[in-house]
Structure 1
Amino acid sequence: MRADATARIAIIGFGPRGLGALEALSQRLEGTTHRIQIDIYEPSPFPGAGPNFAPSEPEYCLLNIPYRDIAIRPPQGSLVGSFADWQGHPVNPNEFPSRADMGRYLEARRVDLFGQGFTKTDAKLTLVRAHVKRLTQEERGWRLHLENCAPALYDEVLLTLGQPSVEPDDQWARWQRHAAQTEGELAQAYPAAELYTHAAEWSGKRVAIRGLGLSTFDVLRGLTVAQGGHFDTVGYHASAREPACILPFSLNGQPPFPKPKDETLDALFEPLGSETEDFAQAVSAAVTATPETASSLISAALAPVVTRILEAQDVTKAEVLKWLATEWSAPGSQDRQTPMEALRHGIELASGQTVPTIGYALGQVWRKWQDEWRSGFNPRQVAPETARVLVAFDEGLKRYSYGPPLSSARELLALIDAGRVDLSFAANPEIAETARGWTLKAEDEDSEVSVIIDAVLPSPDLHSINVPPLPDLMAKGLVAPISDYLAAAIGADGTVCDQNGSPVPGLCLLGRLALGSVTAVDSLHDCFGQSADRWAEGVVQRIME
């Protein structure tokens, strides 16, 4: 690029991922003299936070990370500081903040970045409140076709789309058709504020929730405390405005295991420095190995740590390796408890009332090694077969490593004890359509519901995404999945690879839509990590050419 030319960069989508990328770019551009125009396309009212962390969301929607584990370091020179410092008052390290509070913090970082983050560069930022309808590749770069705006030409385009809207899966599409013809009603877990408004009309009704993961706890609060009920040390006290009964269900019916209650209990699962070094080396070797060798390398690094942690229980390394072998081949099949047993056991584990199991210890160690896991996997070009196995292992362990606060699990138990939630149909029930909604069936029981809420996060299946500009890029072969069950192929710096595996100049993508090229993408920490820095470095190198 000519030294006197202005480089034009577009960022499409500006939640935490886009914010992290722009912060990284501000650091890389400091001291450069190139003129740069950066246009950020985000139509939502909360740029920098995005819908998942919208400050308008209810305070009962909690992060699954306690204050003690939030390490989203601001860029050098930021006036905002860390999340804990930004609060302006002492925080309990064991508390789980709200997503809305995190959203307000991210907005503060965005305001700071726009105000002074690029003062040491010759860059101009513009926030464009418009939808990008289409991208077309031209000899001089990429032309963005916008809703109600003139097209614009860019040298570089970054897609940070989060999880766009998708076509409904077959089950949900069938239920949509049924609801349109009957009294049945369907709803989405998010936005949570919208859900609890609808829930005011469901007093006395029986409501089902599709999904038994983290989002389900937000939904439960929207149906209960948001309707006037409250929890105390005795249990749950209803307001009479709640649904008569709430029935969560999932494929396996297993609620996720809560995180340890405090830093003292959590410290029991802390790996040694030498163990972390061994794990980092194992990941580095695994990503270039066959699937079988990769799984053996990861297991060999995990087993000694868990054996040491569970030494007082006489757990042997062979037992840990056996558990891991099952996890690689059939994740979750070791968990044979009923939903109620799993819930109670998880509470006992997280509160320290019972000794850790192999699975629980593994999950906590895995959580602590997420940075090393990403650092070893994400910059590498991993063979699709190996990537699929490694990603599936990481996703499977989320039932331990991505668990909710202990308080959320206790609230679920209190709602069950109060007769407001029923887990009798939690494990993959048969679901029949009725004139007034649906009937859930399990063994010799059945229960009719008039509302089903979807609390399942869609998989990053590129073919199911139904919002621009991705479908058109897919149709042209400019964006393509690595293989079945994996998402977009990208290079280490986020550069998109086309259907032939060739880099697409000037087009980059970061986030969960590249799952398989990268891993552990659903963590907020990943938005501000090395992937963003690699993208920024690549952009600067290209515009300096």
Structure 2
Amino acid sequence: MMKSGTAAARIAIVGLGPRSLGALEALVAHLADSGCRVVVDVFEPSDAPGAGPNFHPDESPLCLLNIPFRDIAIRPPAFSRAGSFARWYARHTGNQADPDSFPPRADLGRYLQARLQDLLDISNGTITIVPNKVARIERSDAGWRVHAGDPPRAPYDEVLLTPGQPETAPDDQLAEWQDHARDTQGQLAQAYPAARLAERAQDWAGRTVAIRGLGLSTFDVLRVLTCGQGGRFDAQGYHPSGREPAAIYPFSLNGHPPFPKPATQALDARFDLHPSEVDRFSQAMSQAAVADPDTARAAISAALEPVVTRILTDCGATVPKGAVADWLDAEWTDAGTQEKDLSPMDMLRSGIALAEGACAPTTGYAVGQVWRKAQDALRAGYNPVETPVETAEALVAFDEGLKRYSYGPPLSASRELLALIDAGIVDLDLAVDPDFTLTDSGWTLETGGNTARASVMIDAVLPSPDLSSIVAAPVCTLVENGVLSPLSQGLAARTAADGQVLDEQGHVVPRLCLLGRLALGSVIAVDSLHDCFGKSADRWAKGVCARQEPRR
């Protein structure tokens, strides 16, 4: 990992989940070809370094990835013995990976920990995991000081922050509900850790439960409340155990469940881009990332429209002239309004039929699947450059809006939701932005003349990466001190292409880097496992080596 004759740079990494694992793997690979030497302290207080909370090995096996085996492409570095995830899975479970199945997140966590162990084994003691929580970091004349216990760790030449999604202050609604749950008989719970939720749910048999949110996390919650309490699904539907809640009411602002991914590799292949189409999209993305918002929108739409039209035609759909362009125009201006006339049940049934291939793809479904397959090209065009703020806002909003298609759940999850509705356990009648009345026993939900009284509320909403709402150290202090500053309202921190933090004036904060979700806007499509092991990690590693060259 090191070459003799050079001074070793001291690197601190705050956090050790998939993002920092990818960064460390990239750093070790680049060190082999550079003349620099480093020693790395990685600060991670959890008992699952390498996996992080999302993929904790002890998490419930009911929590599934939203990526099938066939699409998990996080190739290990040459020095790793773990091999691919599918190969590792077969070796450790004795089962061949079904390419169309969606594995438990805990299994991926165990795999990531195996890759971390391979990394530590070849590091010759130059990578140390420090099991302490970082309270704050600060600059000194000698470098960065990391306060994680007493005394502060020796000055570091560089610090990399990989905080994932740190704790945030509750929004107004959630804060009110937290106070309400403390003062009444109502119970407020978090979706994760799911193992903890499963324990609490043992006391909820026969009760009415509401779920705040109708995204991917809600499918995990539904499994915990049903299968986790002894119920089971089969081809005939859901078979209750009698230990699950009597009624479950998920809800969101629009009440629409996300669209599931195509069920099989053959169905998914219908949305593959031709090489020439990938090239055109890549060029359009590179142009859009440095253009004004109108030019950016036009470039992306011009690249998407012919691809989507071809796919729809190949699948036997009739495509009126201008229909794809109109759909894209609506998506840019007000994402999701194309489905505003669909009820939650209509949306669910439509999504299932589309994922099964039982009907020709809709324009939205085709756009979403194409966008999913173009994510690498999206990041490659956007992340290495400095995008104008208004353009960043437009492109990030477009990407986030399309997640209802591109980040969809397994088809099995949507079928399970339908089975629970048919069994009379889940009800979507209150799914669309209900009103709430706080009661001594919990909450009353009301919309469109329908009402329900819930004694349990589960929060399944992922907080936004708004820097001002973060309360976890050391990020909150860096924000308060102006070291981390947002690109704009609604977007996260300013960073350079290699992850170096930029201040409010756009100047580099020397040798402080940030990778991941808290840089949304400076980078795009960050809520992806693949991004953790992609080019952003490579650019950071190359930057570390380049900045150490004067030490030769």
- Find the counterpart in structure 2 of residue 403 from structure 1: 408
- Counterpart CA distance in 1 for 2:242 and 2:81 is 47
Q: Indicate which of 89, 97, 101 corresponds to 1:95.
A: 101
Cα–Cα, structure 1 residues 28 and 518, in superposed 2: closer, same or farther, change >3 Å? same
Q: CA RMSD in A?
A: 1.2
Please say if residues 213 and 459 of structure 2, whose CA atoms lie closer than 8 Å, have aligned partners that are also in contact: yes
Q: Indicate which of 315, 320, 324 corresponds to 2:324.
A: 320
- Counterpart CA distance in 1 for 2:431 and 2:34 is 57
1:297, distance to aligned residue in structure 2 (A): 0.5
Please say if residues 31 and 37 of structure 2, whose CA atoms lie closer than 8 Å, have aligned partners that are also in contact: no
Q: Indicate which of 105, 116, 139 corresponds to 1:110.
A: 116
| Aligned 1:35-54 pairs, distance under 5 A | 35-54=37-56
1:476, distance to aligned residue in structure 2 (A): 1.5
Q: Which digits, 9 at most, give the CA deviation of each residue in 1:405-428, with x for residues without a partner? A: 000000000000001100000010
| Aligned 1:45-444 pairs, distance under 5 A | 45-87=47-89, 88=91, 89-116=95-122, 118=123, 124-311=126-313, 312-316=316-320, 318-335=322-339, 336-444=341-449
- Counterpart CA distance in 2 for 1:208 and 1:341 is 21
- Counterpart CA distance in 2 for 1:258 and 1:33 is 48
Task: Give structure 1 stretches of 5+ with no counterpart.
Answer: none
1:105, distance to aligned residue in structure 2 (A): 0.4
- Counterpart CA distance in 1 for 2:225 and 2:492 is 34
- Counterpart CA distance in 1 for 2:180 and 2:438 is 7
SS state at 2:67 partner: coil
Please say if residues 430 and 440 of structure 1, whose CA atoms lie closer than 8 Å, have aligned partners that are also in contact: yes
Please say if residues 255 and 342 of structure 1, whose CA atoms lie closer than 8 Å, have aligned partners that are also in contact: yes
Please say if residues 257 and 343 of structure 1, whose CA atoms lie closer than 8 Å, have aligned partners that are also in contact: yes
1:474, distance to aligned residue in structure 2 (A): 1.2
1:42, distance to aligned residue in structure 2 (A): 0.3
- Counterpart CA distance in 2 for 1:543 and 1:159 is 19
Aligned residues: 540
**Aligned-partner residue type, residue 260 of structure 1:** P
Please say if residues 214 and 250 of structure 2, whose CA atoms lie closer than 8 Å, have aligned partners that are also in contact: yes
Task: Give structure 2 stretches of 5+ with no counterpart.
Answer: none
Q: Which digits, 9 at most, give the CA deviation of each residue in 1:23-59, with x for residues without a partner? A: 0000011155544210000000010000100010111
1:180, distance to aligned residue in structure 2 (A): 1.2
**Aligned-partner residue type, residue 309 of structure 1:** I
Please say if residues 258 and 405 of structure 2, whose CA atoms lie closer than 8 Å, have aligned partners that are also in contact: yes
Please say if residues 317 and 361 of structure 2, whose CA atoms lie closer than 8 Å, have aligned partners that are also in contact: no
SS state at 2:248 partner: strand
- Counterpart CA distance in 2 for 1:151 and 1:83 is 36
- Counterpart CA distance in 2 for 1:250 and 1:149 is 47
SS state at 1:111 partner: helix
1:316, distance to aligned residue in structure 2 (A): 3.7
Q: Which digits, 9 at most, give the CA deviation of each residue in 1:486-505, with x for residues without a partner? A: 10000000000012211001
Q: Which digits, 9 at most, give the CA deviation of each residue in 1:210-254, with x for residues without a partner? A: 000000000001100000000111110111110110000000000
SS state at 1:544 partner: helix
- Counterpart CA distance in 1 for 2:483 and 2:279 is 38
SS state at 1:334 partner: helix
- Counterpart CA distance in 2 for 1:506 and 1:317 is 53
Please say if residues 307 and 317 of structure 1, whose CA atoms lie closer than 8 Å, have aligned partners that are also in contact: no
SS state at 2:211 partner: strand
Please say if residues 284 and 377 of structure 1, whose CA atoms lie closer than 8 Å, have aligned partners that are also in contact: yes
1:309, distance to aligned residue in structure 2 (A): 0.8
- Counterpart CA distance in 2 for 1:32 and 1:153 is 23
Q: Indicate which of 517, 528, 535 corresponds to 2:540.
A: 535
- Find the counterpart in structure 2 of residue 478 from structure 1: 483
Q: Which digits, 9 at most, give the CA deviation of each residue in 1:91-129, with x for residues without a partner? A: 11100011000001000000011002x36xxx7111000
Cα–Cα, structure 1 residues 101 and 149, in superposed 2: closer, same or farther, change >3 Å? farther
1:485, distance to aligned residue in structure 2 (A): 0.8
**Aligned-partner residue type, residue 413 of structure 1:** L
Q: Which moved more, 1:14-23 or 1:313-322?
A: 313-322
**Aligned-partner residue type, residue 448 of structure 1:** R
- Counterpart CA distance in 1 for 2:7 and 2:533 is 30
- Find the counterpart in structure 2 of residue 525 from structure 1: 530
Q: Which digits, 9 at most, give the CA deviation of each residue in 1:453-487, with x for residues without a partner? A: 01011000001010111111112211100111110
**Aligned-partner residue type, residue 535 of structure 2:** Q
**Aligned-partner residue type, residue 328 of structure 2:** L
Q: Indicate which of 504, 512, 518 corresponds to 1:513.
A: 518
Please say if residues 3 and 34 of structure 1, whose CA atoms lie closer than 8 Å, have aligned partners that are also in contact: no
Cα–Cα, structure 1 residues 177 and 494, in superposed 2: closer, same or farther, change >3 Å? same
- Counterpart CA distance in 2 for 1:148 and 1:101 is 36
- Find the counterpart in structure 2 of residue 492 from structure 1: 497
- Counterpart CA distance in 1 for 2:71 and 2:58 is 24
Q: Which moved more, 1:421-430 or 1:176-185?
A: 176-185
Q: Indicate which of 446, 450, 462 corresponds to 1:457.
A: 462
1:340, distance to aligned residue in structure 2 (A): 0.5
**Aligned-partner residue type, residue 342 of structure 2:** Q
Cα–Cα, structure 1 residues 4 and 350, in superposed 2: closer, same or farther, change >3 Å? closer
**Percentage identity across aligned positions?**
58
1:274, distance to aligned residue in structure 2 (A): 0.6
Please say if residues 249 and 425 of structure 1, whose CA atoms lie closer than 8 Å, have aligned partners that are also in contact: yes
1:149, distance to aligned residue in structure 2 (A): 4.9
1:292, distance to aligned residue in structure 2 (A): 0.9
**Aligned-partner residue type, residue 324 of structure 1:** L
TM-score by length of 2: 0.96
- Find the counterpart in structure 2 of residue 14 from structure 1: 16
Q: Does 1:447 align with 2:452?
A: yes
Please say if residues 145 and 152 of structure 1, whose CA atoms lie closer than 8 Å, have aligned partners that are also in contact: no
- Counterpart CA distance in 1 for 2:407 and 2:368 is 8
- Counterpart CA distance in 2 for 1:424 and 1:8 is 57
**Aligned-partner residue type, residue 246 of structure 2:** A
**Aligned-partner residue type, residue 455 of structure 1:** A
**Aligned-partner residue type, residue 383 of structure 1:** P
- Counterpart CA distance in 1 for 2:398 and 2:35 is 45
